[in-house]
Structure 1
Amino acid sequence: KVYSHTWSVGDTVIWDNQGVLHRAAPYEPNSPREMLRTTVLGDEPIQ
């Protein structure tokens, strides 16, 4: 599956990084980008 997101103000996207193949979408190199990271520890799935 490929997930593509059309961003709106206030959107947040969360994913399981262990099950993701990474690829950057094209973007304008001079435009601002914001990336935040949160790490959750543990073996139990979050539901």
Structure 2
Amino acid sequence: MEFDEKFFAELAASFAAIATVWIYGNRSRNAPVVGIFSQMVWWWLTITQ
């Protein structure tokens, strides 16, 4: 795995997704679970590419 521009773009998108889930997720009980699951998928895709 290389720390290149693509990696940092993925990282920024990942943190943006976390922030979005945290801000809007307070309205829904399942939002944190969905957010964590989507982050696991994001990181798996990022690491395997």
**TM-score, normalising length: structure 2:** 0.27
**Highest relative contact order (Cα 8 Å, sep 6+), 1 or 2?**
2
Indicate the structure with greater helix content: 2
